[in-house]
Structure 1
């Protein structure tokens, strides 16, 4: 009996040793797996570089993301690590579609947190003060990444889609920098710029000087566009506005070169000649009274402010000095002297 108990006890000891060895092996494996997992979650993704992006399509799921990352060779980590990270962060079912920047040093944890928060990559498009609508269309067409829907549409078609009266879109888009994301279209951006201009114009009109001699907000938009094209020094905008408004009040023609240039269209070669001033177009303020029928450019907020808050004074003329600024004069005689000084004697 005694030997039998020895044999039974030895078997238990062997079994216990095997269990301990298996537990130790499992613990060691779990330790290594946990260590590798911790290293994975905060290690930079492969391929992260300036300008690199990841586009996560609508309708894609978490497994699609992991597959996409592996196909793009952005990760070699086993799938279980990605599944565990998704569960740990609680984001597996709430990733937002869009375009994401793969900045240098970006880790899997940071990528998933960005995607769960919808921190999609934003691009920026700037509408420049004084652009014409034609220049705006050219710039939009050249903006890589925007969905292009406007080519083939005429200006009047675009105006109708935006509910712009008379089908004339010139002037109706606020110069500003607009953020956009992958999937937005050129029309989406135009729509936002148009809404911004309507709001800015409404505010300028509501806060206008009480004795402003303009009848409608649209007249403010037209005048502001001329001020925009005439101004080289920001501080002169209200003075230029005052000159034009006094000329309108005294029924004098505006006689401003930028309106002539706009009416010339593609015929303008960088020079304006006497015959151009004498050639009638709807925008030629040397041959026609009052304001032109449409704006001639996209005015910025400062031009709108100047058009609704002109400087007081008696000046009716101004001439360029050649450095961006102007000489202002109350009489034709003083103006002619300024022309002689700054224009006719210019080498």
Structure 2
């Protein structure tokens, strides 16, 4: 009798050991993909259907062993729809990736100084992003109001998943810009020539477009603020170019400076009606906290930097040095 009992126990141990080895082999068996592969899990896909799809692609030999594991660990059956990158890692680890919603991340970048037209053109070409933008309702769609959308999209890189919408990405950019502007406005300096945070945003966009050297943003801001505080016109080419829109051919002409548009700061007093680009945080901070200076003029040196001047005489001399002499 004792021999029988020992034999049964021995067989049980052997069977358990074999079963454990098979279980471990199944858990560790790789998904048979030759390279990293994108795979879309559609809404409503269950564990069995997923395994059958992989079997049809010859990525797994059969499903019953994985179905047993799923019975032992029911969390594996909670699959999340999306686009995933499958690897030659184990089948179970690939399933866990889907179970945890570790979708492929795509990205879209709004560059400092881009205008709205450029941002919209770029986002329409973004990979794996649904274009749900309504050209006649953009401000309402993204901002929830009738403000002009120009200037309201914070320059940054935004990550998204397959089939997310363009509007959802731009809404995040708008929310980040609103928060950045609000925070900066609360820390603004005294005696600024702006009545509202929106006017500071307009100024920041001009600073962004005028600045070739990031370190000069504060001085550019100081010169513009000094102009407004002394009732001088801004007289800045980027606003003129923005006002020309599609008519700008890459070469600003004297005629362009004389023709009236709401953005021609050679013809209008104060700020233009809207921003002209998407300003960076640095440009916004420069607009609301410019350093104290007596500069009211600046001219490009041709290398991205500027020569700043306090008097018209100094400015004319700088123009002669850096602009006129180069044309001769």
TM norm structure 2: 0.91
- Structure 2 partner of 1:66: 51
1:122 is the counterpart of 2:108: no
Counterpart of 2:209 in 1: which secondary structure? Answer: helix
Counterpart of 1:286 in 2: which secondary structure? Answer: coil
Match of 1:264 among 226, 240, 244: 244
The CA distance in 2 between the partners of 1:276 and 1:55, in whole Å, is 53
1:138 is the counterpart of 2:121: yes
1:261·1:272 contact (CA, 8 Å) conserved in 2? yes
Deviation larger for 232-241 or 28-37: 28-37
The CA distance in 2 between the partners of 1:165 and 1:37, in whole Å, is 59
The CA distance in 1 between the partners of 2:119 and 2:59, in whole Å, is 38
Q: How many residues align?
A: 321
Structure 1 unaligned residues grouped into runs of 5+: 1-15
Change (3 A) 1:74 1:163: same
The CA distance in 1 between the partners of 2:147 and 2:281, in whole Å, is 23
Change (3 A) 1:164 1:311: farther
- Structure 1 partner of 2:86: 102
The CA distance in 2 between the partners of 1:166 and 1:98, in whole Å, is 34
Deviation at 1:314, TM superposition (A): 0.1
- Structure 2 partner of 1:242: 222
- Structure 2 partner of 1:12: none
The CA distance in 2 between the partners of 1:141 and 1:71, in whole Å, is 35
1:113 is the counterpart of 2:93: no
- Structure 2 partner of 1:4: none
Deviation at 1:339, TM superposition (A): 0.7
Match of 2:313 among 333, 340, 343: 333
The CA distance in 2 between the partners of 1:72 and 1:216, in whole Å, is 60
The CA distance in 1 between the partners of 2:64 and 2:16, in whole Å, is 13
Paired residues for 1:163-182 under 5 Å: 163=143, 165-182=145-162
Deviation at 1:49, TM superposition (A): 2.2
Q: Please say which structure displays the higher CA radius of gyration.
A: 1
- Structure 2 partner of 1:57: 42
- Structure 2 partner of 1:45: 31
Once the two structures are superposed, residues 227-284 of structure 1 have per-residue CA deviations (whole angstroms, 9 ceiling, x without a partner) of 1101111111011011111101111110111001101111112111111111211111
TM norm structure 1: 0.86
1:91·1:112 contact (CA, 8 Å) conserved in 2? no
Pairwise CA RMSD: 2.2
Deviation at 1:86, TM superposition (A): 2.0
Once the two structures are superposed, residues 153-172 of structure 1 have per-residue CA deviations (whole angstroms, 9 ceiling, x without a partner) of 32x41112234554411111
- Structure 2 partner of 1:6: none
